[in-house]
């Protein structure tokens, strides 16, 4: 997909972070953006900042997964097509497994995995009928390896990669592209919004996040990946990037290194 002009892009988690920056950059190259998140006020502010026209705000709580099929039907009644779906909404974790309530595990899995799957499955019939479309899912380096204080988050991000890898082969004949993005530390509010073991917000910016990849650079890399129809895009540097390759080629070494990692 080389040309974004007049393409309709639906982005979840669009009120801040990677989703917001993707909306800004894609609008500049002519895309029409559907902005989804819970906070209507923040979404409206993002919409007002976008170049071009034809953008609109569609607030929804993706934790209410059962409402997603009807939401997709409503969107399709408003637009000619959904050319690109970006499953970006998600939430992280900062707690040991032994201290994490099961309801927190379920909430993270519901948003980071089931919501993305429901969005995808509800949009697929439309894309298959048109024999065109692209589904982009923002996973994480945490979807490639397990790190302490992130058990539920890692589980959800691993799961979504597995689903999308299988889906990619299923929809290839329908000319639908599936792209998974695995960012490392990016300068967003992900650690501030992360859940602690009791479900409360972490409200702290991790040093890795604070010194992470600028969100503008991350979004630019994703857009380049869309243009090249890259199946899986790793956006990480330094130790995080190295860890992904160690997990693949030297897993025992990585596991030993993880036991010494002081995660926050």
What pLDDT digit, counting tens, does each position of 8-18 carry? 999 999 999 99
Reply yes or no on whether the pLDDT at 240 is more than 80.
Answer: yes
Q: Which residues pair with 56 in a beta bridge?
A: 34
Instruction: With cut-offs at 50, 70 and 90, classify the pLDDT of residue 1.
Output: confident
- Report the percent of the chain where pLDDT is more than 70: 100
Query: What's the structural domain count of the chain?
Result: 1
pLDDT tens for each residue of 173-183: 999 999 999 99
Return the residue matching tokens 């996973």: 139
Q: Average the pLDDT over 218-234 and give the result.
A: 97
Mean pLDDT calculated for residue range 37-66: 97
Helix (H) or strand (E) holding 234: strand 232-235
Separation between Cα atoms, residue 15 and residue 222, nearest integer Å = 18
Q: What is the pLDDT at residue 151?
A: 97
Angle at 221 between CA 107 and CA 88, to 5 degrees: 20
Q: Is residue 242 part of a domain?
A: yes
Judging by beta carbons within 10 Å of its beta carbon (0-12, 13-18, 19+), is residue 208 exposed, middle or buried? middle
Position 186 in a domain: yes
> Sign of the C-alpha dihedral, residues 163, 169, 172, 177?
positive
How confident is the model over 245-254, as a mean pLDDT? 95
Query: Which tens digits make up the pLDDT trace of 191-206?
Result: 999 999 999 999 999 9
Domain membership of residue 264 (yes or no) is no
Task: State the catalytic residues.
Answer: 153
Question: 222-256: buried (b, 16+ CB within 10 Å) or exposed (e) per residue?
Answer: bbebbeeebebbbbbeeebeebbebbeeeeeebee
Does residue 68 form part of some domain? Answer: yes
* pLDDT for the residue 239: 94
Averaged pLDDT for residues 164-172: 98
Question: Do 141 and 236 form a contact (C-beta atoms < 8 A)?
Answer: yes
Q: Where in the sequence is the domain holding 74, given as residue range(s)?
A: 8-259
**Residue 260 confidence (pLDDT):** 87
Contact 202, 192 (CB under 8 A): yes
Whether the CA torsion 166, 169, 173, 175 is positive or negative: it is positive
In a domain, 158, yes or no: yes
User: Which region, left, alpha or beta, applies to residue 229 given φ > 0 means left and ψ of -120 to 50 means alpha?
Assistant: left
**Residue 98: CB partners within 8 Å, gap ≥ 6?**
none
Are 163 and 219 spatial neighbours (Cβ–Cβ below 8 Å)?
no
| pLDDT tier, 56 (very low <50, low <70, confident <90, very high otherwise) | very high
Q: Which two tokens stand for residue 233?
A: 């895009």
Within a domain: 1: no
Mean pLDDT of the chain: 96
Asked whether residue 3 is assigned to any structural domain, the reply reads: no
Q: Report which secondary-structure segment, H or E, holds 80.
A: none
Average pLDDT, stretch 88-100?
A: 97
Instruction: Check residue 262 and give its pLDDT.
Output: 78
- Report the pLDDT value the prediction gives residue 93, as an integer from 0 to 100: 97
CB 28 within 8 A of CB 216: no
DSSP letter at 221 equals: H
CATH number of the domain that residue 250 is part of: 3.40.50.720
- Model confidence band, residue 223 (pLDDT cutoffs 50, 70, 90): very high
The H or E element spanning position 78 is helix 68-78
The pTM of this model reads 0.95
pLDDT at 81 over 80: yes
Residue 72 is assigned to a structural domain of this protein: yes
In the predicted model, what is the mean pLDDT of residues 81-109?
Answer: 98
pLDDT digits (tens, 9 = 90+) for 118-147: 999 999 999 999 999 999 999 999 999 999
């Amino acid at each position: 997909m080389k040309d974004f002009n007049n393409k309709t892009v639906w982005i979840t988690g669009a009120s801040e972070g990677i989703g917001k920056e993707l909306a800004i950059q894609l609008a500049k190259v002519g895309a029409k953006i559907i902005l989804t998140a819970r906070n209507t006020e923040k979404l409206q502010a993002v919409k007002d900042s976008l170049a071009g026209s034809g953008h609109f705000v569609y607030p929804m709580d993706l934790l209410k997964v059962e409402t997603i099929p009807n939401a997709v039907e409503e969107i399709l009644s408003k637009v000619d097509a959904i050319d690109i779906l970006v499953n970006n909404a998600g939430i992280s974790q900062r707690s040991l497994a032994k201290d994490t309530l099961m309801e927190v595990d379920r909430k993270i899995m519901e948003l980071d995995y089931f919501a993305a799957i429901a969005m995808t499955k509800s949009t697929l019939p439309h894309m298959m009928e048109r024999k065109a479309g692209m589904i982009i899912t923002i996973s994480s380096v945490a979807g490639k390896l397990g790190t302490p204080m992130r058990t539920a988050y890692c589980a959800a991000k691993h799961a979504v990669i597995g689903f999308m890898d299988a889906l990619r082969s299923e929809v290839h004949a329908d000319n639908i592209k599936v792209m998974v993005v695995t960012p490392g530390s990016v300068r967003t509010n992900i650690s501030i919004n992360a859940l602690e073991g009791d479900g409360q917000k972490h409200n702290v910016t991790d040093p890795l996040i604070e010194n992470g990849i600028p969100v503008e650079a991350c979004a630019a890399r994703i857009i380049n990946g869309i243009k090249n129809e890259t199946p899986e895009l790793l956006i990480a540097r330094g130790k995080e990037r190295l860890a992904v390759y160690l997990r693949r080629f030297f897993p025992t070494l990585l596991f030993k290194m993880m036991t010494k990692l002081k995660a926050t």
